[in-house]
Amino acid sequence: MPYAPHTEAEVRAMLADLGLERLEELYAHLPADLLDPPIELPEPMNEDALLRHLAEVAARNRPGRVFLGGGVRDHFVPAIVDTVAGRGEFLTAYTPYQPEASQGVLQAIFEYQTMIAELTALDVANASLYDGASALAEGVLLALRATRRMRAMVSRGVHPEYRQVLATYLNAVGADLEEVPLEGDRTPAFAVADDVGAVVVQSPNFLGAIEAYAPLAEAAHAAGALLVVVADPLSLAVLRPPGEQGADVAVGEGQPLGNPMSLGGPHFGYIAVREGLLRQLPGRLVSMTEDAEGRRGFVLALSAREQHIRRAKARSNITTNAQNAALRATVHLAALGPEGLKGVALATAAAARRLYQLLLEAGGVRPLTRPPFFAEFALRLPKDPAEVRSLLAEAGYHGAYPIPEYGEGAALFAASERMTEDDLLAFARAFFVAVGG
């Protein structure tokens, strides 16, 4: 039976109230080519032929290794991640409002929160957000609410797309946003005015450079502001975490933990805060408790702040979480353990440093990012990065992500623990040809 929410009588009644005779008149203001676009479909195929055709189409997007960077990277995902995250009880579960029927999902979320809190060295994390960009926006809004101020300062070392999303969110609430230019590849020391509620820095930043932001935390706190740090979660296995450098809020993109690139998603964003900001957290929070018989259990906590209860007075309009993507990260972290995660991070950093050395041997290529960096770095190319990227694609690689905001010829590159010496040398050879030397 087709899904038809409105009867013919209801449609006629609606049109009469609008003073219209035909349903098509509702859309008369739209261009004709949108209303009735030509659709050219191939001849129908049987199932076997269709599967072969789809495999051929999918194969077009399978180059060698992916060296693009920009916050999404090609890390190995152990088979156990797909096995656990693909179980029916996780794939079909949605909102765990009834703890008596949702203990498995709630415990998985609790374990995720615990792991993120440990990685960031902050007191509490929520059940996850949609992606790194929305996590940053929510982290800054949280800081502005906590400080009761309506101005934020953000380093241009923060991912440009994150800054665009942040600007959209702050414009909606009437808050001011000031961008702080980089000095070279890093954020300089800068004064924080007493009307600023949030200071934002990213480390490793968008150019890959590792920022020393503890002094910035001191400057922010001296002015009564909070420091929001965007951090690659994988890097936290080897770098000093935000909570130990004075950060009040840590946010970021979780894709490097157990999630494939998948043409941009689905991924998840994480957010963690120090204890005094607990009640400002957006979205869901799962807590561990005991039932009347003293047995351990898990429940949603502090849900009164959510939109479905507080409506316009809610802290945020986010009331859900990217659960399956966050579950993948949880399984990934549990499978690797602290030493395994550290090994992946160190291998990633080593591959990036080796790639950096190789690419700088090409004629006319200059460094934009200076060591130390983690998994990504930027170079100035002697040719248009878009042209270089296209030539690399013809050779079977994704690489040289153009970043024109950071100057002429600027392009981003990345490596991961999956890349062998042969992979790096092969890409370097293709890169030398692409840049003409």
Residue 59 confidence (pLDDT)? 83
Q: What is the pLDDT of residue 437?
A: 63
pLDDT of residue 6: 86
Structure tokens given for 165: 């999303």
Return the pLDDT at 62. 67
Answer whether 0.85 is exceeded by the pTM: yes
**Cα Rg for the chain, rounded, in angstroms?**
25
Q: Among 3.90.1150.10, 1.10.3720.10, 3.30.2350.10, 2.140.10.10, name the CATH number for the domain at 66-75+337-435.
A: 3.90.1150.10
Helix (H, G, I), strand (E, B) or coil at 346: helix
CA distances for 172 relative to 36, 169, 180, 219, 430, angstroms: 35, 5, 21, 27, 45
What is the rounded CA–CA span in Å between residue 193 and residue 224? 9
DSSP labels for 323-343?
HHHHHHHHHHHHHHHHHHHHH
* Phi then psi dihedrals of residue 60, to 5 deg: -65, -20
Residues 303, 287: Cα–Cα separation, whole Å: 11
| pLDDT (tens digit per residue) in 392-436 | 999 999 999 999 999 999 999 999 999 999 999 999 999 999 998
Q: Which CATH class is domain 79-330?
A: alpha beta
Nearest of 72, 69, 67 to residue 393 by alpha carbon: 67
Mean pLDDT over each residue of the chain, to the nearest integer: 92
Q: Which amino acid belongs to residue 246?
A: G
SS3 80: helix
SS (HEC) of 81-101: HHHHHCCHHHHCCCCCCCHHH
Q: What tokens does 353 get?
A: 């440093």
Q: How many residues does the chain have?
A: 437
pLDDT per residue as tens digits for the range 298-336: 998 876 555 566 666 777 878 778 999 999 999 999 999
The answer to whether the 66-75+337-435 and 79-330 domains have the same CATH topology is: no
Q: What is the pLDDT of residue 371?
A: 97
**Closest C-alpha among 96, 180, 198, 206 to residue 143:** 198
206 in Cβ contact with 238 (< 8 Å)? no
pLDDT tens per residue across span 267-296: 999 999 999 999 899 888 999 999 889 999
Q: Can you give the residue ranges of every domain in the chain? A: 66-75+337-435, 79-330
Residue ranges of the chain with per-residue pLDDT less than 50? none
